[in-house]
Amino acid sequence: MKFEDIKNLLIDKFGPEVIVGEETSGLQPALLIQPDKIAEACLELRNNEKTYFDFLACLSGVDYGVDENIFGVVYHLSSIPYKTQLTLKVKKYHDRNQTGLPSFPSVCSVWRTAEWHEREAYDLLGIYFEGNPDLRRILLPDDWEGYPLRKDYKVQEYYHGIKVD
């Protein structure tokens, strides 16, 4: 199924507001999905016989920079029967306040592999995933402060009384 057809399929199912935008300039076109609808859209793309994206290859959290203050998640889907690939993106503004985290719906219920990927995004970028049953740090120690892959990250001065370089 072509990129345009997938776009139309999602519009038919969820209405035109589900697609916020699209990026077609690069080698791999991407669909920008409305953040609240991402889990439903993924479930539809996995279950629909025409698309059948049964394999979540990669899920990456992204911090788009301190000027824009936009956080996003990028989903790389691939379909084993059709041998096709698709990129989905969600983006959200977040002002980097200390009390809250940018939050997106979890796609754990669609692909179980998302659970660890989302934990990694939470761990390194501080993106919260609603509905992830086991959201805790995965690569860093549980008591680490801050989110290292954020663009404004400053390493903590001391960790367990030892200076961090």
Partner 1 sequence: MINPKTSSYKTRHEQLIAEAQPNEMILNMGPQHPSTHGVLRLELITDGEVVKEVIPHVGYLHRCFEKHAENLTYQQTIPFVDRMDYLASMNNSHAWVMGVERMLGLDKEIPKRIEYIRVLVCELNRIGSHLIALGTYGIDIGAFTPFLWCFRDREHIMNMLEWASGSRMLYNYIWVGGLFFDLPVGFEERCKEFIDYFKPKMKELNELLTDNQIFISRTANVGILPLEVAINYGCSGPMLRASGLKWDLRRVDEYSAYPELEFEVPIGKGLMGTTGDCWDRYKVRIDEIEQSVLIIEQCLERLTKDLKRTPDFDPRAKLPKKIIPKAQDFYIRAETPRGELGYYFIADGKSEIPKRVKARAPSFNNLHVISEISRGVLIADLIAIIGSIDIVLGELDR
Q: Which residues bind partner 1 (CB under 8 A)?
A: 23, 25-28, 30, 54-58, 60, 62-63, 65, 74, 76, 80, 83, 85, 87, 111-113, 115-116, 124, 133-141, 148-149
- Provide the minimum distance between the beta carbon of 10 and partner 1 in the complex, in angstroms, as a whole number: 20
Nearer to partner 1, 1 or 74 (CB): 74
Nearer to partner 1, 14 or 149 (CB): 149
- Provide the minimum distance between the beta carbon of 89 and partner 1 in the complex, in angstroms, as a whole number: 8
Return the SS3 of 76. Answer: strand
- Provide the minimum distance between the beta carbon of 37 and partner 1 in the complex, in angstroms, as a whole number: 21
Dihedral angle sign, alpha carbons of residues 7, 94, 155, 116 = negative
- Provide the minimum distance between the beta carbon of 138 and partner 1 in the complex, in angstroms, as a whole number: 6
Q: Between the CA of residue 54 and those of 12, 78, 108, 111, what are the distances in Å?
A: 21, 7, 13, 8
Nearer to partner 1, 82 or 93 (CB): 82
Nearer to partner 1, 16 or 26 (CB): 26
Burial class of residue 126 in the structure, from the number of CB atoms within 10 Å of its CB (0-12 exposed, 13-18 middle, 19+ buried): buried
Nearer to partner 1, 11 or 80 (CB): 80
Rounded distance between C-alpha atoms, residue 17 and residue 147, angstroms: 32
Rounded distance between C-alpha atoms, residue 5 and residue 27, angstroms: 18
- Provide the minimum distance between the beta carbon of 15 and partner 1 in the complex, in angstroms, as a whole number: 26
